[in-house]
């Protein structure tokens, strides 16, 4: 109902029909607006057949429309008096300079805050992108390291297998030659080099096994593969937990378990097939008790000796080095009285005396001895969940794979 008079007022203002903004002219115009409003109210009551008081009450409930009409004329809304009677007062909507400056200052501050927030958001996005790029680069580097490590391990295992096959072929050739000499009745005099060969591990001496030139070349290639793999060692402190070393529980020690020998150039750990059959070698390690148990089992069921165990006590000498002390040898025999003679424990003398005896026997046989002033022990070069490599203080290498 009030849309029409408001539209009239807007039209009057838009057409410039208000000659001036003097109070007298504005009061006349306001009177015109009030008259139009009252006319509309009256017409509305006649059309709706409602009392004029009801129509006027409806009009006052829509006072917002009248205020909107007054706003079009650039005036302030009506104000109520303390007595409850409304009195129209025309006041110009003109902002003071202080208010304008204050609003402009607040707008600038808000703009600066928005700009600063935007810059921070952009910096955060850029930092996030850099972090993602760094993580991706780290993953790529880790993948490359894993691939290099995998290739190095494969190369080492291939070299170990090649050495083993060549060594067994050499042993077979030696056996065939020996059998042929026996059949022909010839006795071949062994050379000094053949006499010094300790392939059956007859000594505790730190002695390098004698090899043919071809086999020595494969051994050198294997040692080179060991050195390449050692540069990628993932376990910086493999001795942690050994008998509680470093305050770590022994159950978490990286050496715990059963290991199978894959390669060594040490004579006292090298076995060829003999009268007791093929030899199966492995090592059991108990970090809580501090024992290395070197185990050898023979395959020939007719042999009285089933195998033997060498008990070696280990003492950590830092994060990677281990000192060894040979304590006893346990012989496993096939006997009619296994409880009495099935196992025979032989205590060993002091490590120093044992190494002295070993050197004497090694020199008598003409073998190559690698003495070390530090005694028996080794340095761990590489340890992961399934492979272990160490070098003894005498310079001999061992490669072992985890069985359990």
What confidence tier does 243 reach under pLDDT thresholds 50, 70, 90?
A: very high
Q: Which residues, including other chains, have CB under 8 Å from residue 213's CB and lie 6 or more apart?
A: none
Per-residue pLDDT at 174? 81
Instruction: Identify the DSSP state of 224.
Output: H
Per-residue pLDDT at 37? 58
Give the pairing type, strands 397-402 and 377-383.
Answer: unpaired
Q: Which helix (H) or strand (E) holds 316?
A: strand 305-316
Q: Report residue 59: phi and psi, to 5°.
A: -65, -45
| Closest by CA position to 345, among listed 363, 327, 358, 362 | 327
63-72 helix and 52-61 helix, angle to the nearest 10 degrees:
60
Per-residue pLDDT at 208? 64
- 3-state SS assignment for residue 282: strand
% the chain with pLDDT above 90: 37
Exposed / middle / buried, residue 229 (Cβ in 10 Å: 0-12, 13-18, 19+): buried
What confidence tier does 82 reach under pLDDT thresholds 50, 70, 90?
A: very low
What is the domain partition of the chain in residue ranges?
141-184+206-402
Instruction: Identify the DSSP state of 189.
Output: P
Mean per-residue pLDDT over the chain, rounded? 76
Q: How far is CA 133 from CA 128, 129, 138, 147, 219, in A?
A: 9, 6, 8, 21, 44
Name the residue with tokens 């001999």: 396
Q: What is the mean pLDDT of residues 271-288?
A: 82
pLDDT, tens digit, for every residue of 179-219?
Answer: 887 787 765 555 444 433 333 333 344 556 667 788 889 99
pLDDT, tens digit, for every residue of 288-346?
Answer: 999 999 999 988 888 888 899 999 999 999 999 999 999 999 999 888 787 777 889 99
Please, what sign has the CA dihedral across residues 189, 193, 194, 197? positive
């Amino acid at each position: 109902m009030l849309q029409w008079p408001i539209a009239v007022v807007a039209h009057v203002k838009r057409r410039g029909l208000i000659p001036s903004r003097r109070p007298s002219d504005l009061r006349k115009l306001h009177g015109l607006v009030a008259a139009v409003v009252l006319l509309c109210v009256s017409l509305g009551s006649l059309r709706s057949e409602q009392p004029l008081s009801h129509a006027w009450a409806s009009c006052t409930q829509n006072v917002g429309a009248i205020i909107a009409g007054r706003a079009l004329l650039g005036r302030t809304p009506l104000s109520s008096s303390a007595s409850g009677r409304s009195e129209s007062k025309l006041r110009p909507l003109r902002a003071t300079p202080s208010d304008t400056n204050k609003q402009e200052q607040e707008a600038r501050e808000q703009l600066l805050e928005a700009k600063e927030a935007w810059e921070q958001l952009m910096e955060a996005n850029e930092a996030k992108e850099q972090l993602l790029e760094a993580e991706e680069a780290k993953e790529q580097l880790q993948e490359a390291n894993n691939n290099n490590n995998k290739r190095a391990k494969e190369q080492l295992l291939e070299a170990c297998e090649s050495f083993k096959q060549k060594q067994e072929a050499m042993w077979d050739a030696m056996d065939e030659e020996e059998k042929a000499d026996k059949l022909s009745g010839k006795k071949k005099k062994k050379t000094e080099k053949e006499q010094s060969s300790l392939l059956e591990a007859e000594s505790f001496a730190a002695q390098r096994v004698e090899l043919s030139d071809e086999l020595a070349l494969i051994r050198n290639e294997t040692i080179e593969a060991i050195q390449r793999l050692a540069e990628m060692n993932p376990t910086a402190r493999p001795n942690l937990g050994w008998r509680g070393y470093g305050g770590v529980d022994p159950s978490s020690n990286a050496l715990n378990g059963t290991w199978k020998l894959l390669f060594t150039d040490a004579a006292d750990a090298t076995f060829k097939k003999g009268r007791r059959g093929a030899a199966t070698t492995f090592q059991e390690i108990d970090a809580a008790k501090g024992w290395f148990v070197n185990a050898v089992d023979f395959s020939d069921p007719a042999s009285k000796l089933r195998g033997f165990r060498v008990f070696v006590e280990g003492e950590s000498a830092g994060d990677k080095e281990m000192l060894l002390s040979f304590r006893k040898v346990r012989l496993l025999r096939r006997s009619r009285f296994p409880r009495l003679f099935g196992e025979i424990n032989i205590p060993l003398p002091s490590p120093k005396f044992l190494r002295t005896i070993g050197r004497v026997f090694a020199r008598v046989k003409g073998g190559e001895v690698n003495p070390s002033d530090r005694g028996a022990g080794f340095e761990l070069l590489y340890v992961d969940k399934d492979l272990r490599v160490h070098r003894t203080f005498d310079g001999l290498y061992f490669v072992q794979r985890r069985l359990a």
